[in-house]
């Protein structure tokens, strides 16, 4: 079977395909013939050598997949064979085959195609954890979603709207018309100048009750300051550190050092909360994650959850797929088709 390999840190051109022997599922695992694998910003940062959780090079990345079960490990019920499934994988999903424990696999809704199903796990579970589980977003509240045009951003938009909240977002200006049509209540082009004055106008100076911030570094300090009393900020990324080439590690260090130091007394004084989300550190909590996924699958059935696939690339076009995210072209999800 063929898989996408990152042989070493570098620009998108370093990506290669390699052919390896077919995988054999271990006890309790299924093997999935992958038809679509999600591409995430974490994959871009891993390729740049800036993602601490990535396995050592050379490595096959990929946190999520959709496809058909084509082999079963010992102890797995025969009825799984041939089923259309999607789910989470601890890397290795950007390949023609992936083996995963059954606990990380979900039956695919009949209304979705493989690319749409592969667009769900990372983006929607992250957004659900940020907005619902830890952010506790209420119908009478306003949320600011940074990079609302990205994969997590659009997932968060749909979830926040479903909860009845007012949704504001930052994104590159070229994405605003499409985002407005998707129901965003107020948009800020954060690349044309600081977003805070625009946010103040949109909230009559009050700020918002929830901000989700994937940019990190000193940007997180700005998000904290923009909270209304009782506001919460969810930090879940360090996009500010993204950089191909020799200066990448230095930029990463600067970004991490720029993060705010939070003192509980300060949070208490201002009636604020701060929390962090890392889906890649929840492999021991699959029972919890399955409950969240069930709520999302209910959303697919009810019709409010509609994965937006921006572009699909063959595995041997993976460099273009990485460029699409890196150059901020995507509106929603980028998917690889092995």
Ligand X SMILES: NC(=O)c1ccc[n+]([C@@H]2O[C@H](COP(=O)([O-])OP(=O)(O)OC[C@H]3O[C@@H](n4cnc5c(N)ncnc54)[C@H](OP(=O)(O)O)[C@@H]3O)[C@@H](O)[C@H]2O)c1
User: Among 81-89, 201-209, 273-281, 296-304, which window interacts with ligand X (CB under 6 A)?
Assistant: 273-281
What residues form DSSP beta bridges with 187?
169
Which residue's CB comes closest to ligand X? 150
Q: How far is the CB of 84 from ligand X (least distance, A)?
A: 24
Q: How far is the CB of 301 from ligand X (least distance, A)?
A: 24
One of 64, 198, 209, 326 touching ligand X (CB under 6 A): 326
**Exposure pattern of 295-333 as b/e (b: 16+ CB <10 Å)?**
ebbebbeeeebebbbbbbbebebbbebbbbbbebebbbb
What's the burial of 148, exposed, middle or buried (CB within 10 Å: 0-12/13-18/19+)? buried
User: Among 144-152, 156-164, 176-184, 250-258, which window interacts with ligand X (CB under 6 A)?
Assistant: 144-152
User: Among 7-15, 24-32, 100-108, 275-283, which window interacts with ligand X (CB under 6 A)?
Assistant: 275-283
Is the four-CA dihedral 312, 313, 318, 321 of positive or negative sign? negative
The answer to whether residue 277 forms part of the interface with ligand X (CB under 6 A) is yes
Q: Which is nearer to ligand X, 29 or 43 (CB)?
A: 43
* Residue 205 Ramachandran class (φ > 0 left, ψ -120 to 50 alpha, else beta): left
Q: Which is nearer to ligand X, 97 or 242 (CB)?
A: 242
* Residue 89 Ramachandran class (φ > 0 left, ψ -120 to 50 alpha, else beta): beta
Q: Which is nearer to ligand X, 20 or 253 (CB)?
A: 253
The answer to whether residue 152 forms part of the interface with ligand X (CB under 6 A) is yes
Considering only residues 187 to 246 of the shown chain, the ones binding ligand X according to CB under 6 A are 214-215, 236-237, 239, 242
User: Among 81-89, 120-128, 199-207, 244-252, which window interacts with ligand X (CB under 6 A)?
Assistant: 120-128
Q: Which is nearer to ligand X, 50 or 69 (CB)?
A: 50
One of 94, 97, 116, 123 touching ligand X (CB under 6 A): 123
Q: How far is the CB of 1 from ligand X (least distance, A)?
A: 25
Q: Which is nearer to ligand X, 126 or 142 (CB)?
A: 126
- Cα separation, 298 vs 62, whole angstroms: 25
- Cα separation, 304 vs 158, whole angstroms: 7
Question: Going by DSSP bridges, is the β-strand pair 227-235/166-170 parallel, antiparallel, or unpaired?
Answer: unpaired
C-alpha angle with apex 117: 321 to 71, nearest 5 degrees? 100
Total site size for ligand X, rule CB under 6 A: 29
Q: Which is nearer to ligand X, 3 or 219 (CB)?
A: 219
User: Among 14-22, 113-121, 169-177, 226-234, which window interacts with ligand X (CB under 6 A)?
Assistant: 169-177
Positions in the binding site for ligand X (CB under 6 A): 40-42, 122-123, 126, 147, 149-153, 171-172, 175, 214-215, 236-237, 239, 242, 277-280, 325-326, 328, 330
């Amino acid at each position: 079977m063929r898989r996408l390999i990152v042989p070493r840190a570098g620009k998108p051109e370093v990506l290669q395909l390699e052919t390896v022997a077919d995988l054999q599922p271990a006890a309790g695992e299924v093997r999935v013939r992958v038809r679509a694998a999600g591409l995430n910003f974490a994959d871009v940062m891993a390729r740049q050598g800036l993602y601490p959780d990535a396995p050592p090079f050379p490595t096959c990345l990929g946190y999520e997949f959709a496809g058909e079960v084509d082999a079963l490990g010992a102890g797995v019920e025969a009825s799984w064979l041939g089923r259309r499934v999607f789910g989470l994988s601890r890397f290795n999903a950007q390949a023609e085959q992936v083996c995963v424990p059954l606990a990380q696999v979900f039956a695919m809704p009949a209304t979705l195609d493989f690319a749409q199903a592969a667009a769900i796990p990372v983006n929607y579970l992250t957004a659900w954890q940020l907005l619902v589980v830890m952010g506790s977003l209420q119908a009478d509240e306003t949320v600011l979603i940074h990079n609302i045009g990205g994969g997590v951003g659009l997932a968060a938009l749909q979830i926040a709207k479903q909860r009845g909240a007012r949704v504001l977002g930052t994104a590159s200006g070229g994405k605003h018309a499409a985002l407005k049509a998707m129901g965003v209540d107020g948009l800020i082009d954060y690349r044309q100048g600081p977003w805070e004055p625009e946010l103040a106008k949109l909230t009559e100076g009050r700020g918002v009750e929830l901000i989700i911030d994937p940019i990190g570094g000193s940007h997180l300090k700005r998000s904290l300051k923009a909270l209304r009393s009782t506001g919460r900020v969810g930090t879940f990324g360090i996009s500010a550190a993204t950089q191909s080439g020799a200066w990448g590690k230095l930029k990463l260090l600067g970004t991490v050092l720029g993060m705010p130091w939070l003192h509980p007394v300060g949070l208490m004084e201002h009636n604020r909360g701060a929390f962090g989300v890392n889906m890649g550190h929840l492999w021991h909590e699959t029972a919890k994650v399955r409950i969240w996924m069930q709520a999302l699958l209910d959303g697919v059935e009810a019709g409010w959850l509609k994965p937006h696939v921006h572009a699909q690339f063959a595995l041997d076009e993976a460099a273009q797929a990485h460029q699409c995210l890196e150059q901020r072209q995507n509106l929603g999800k980028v998917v690889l088709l092995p």
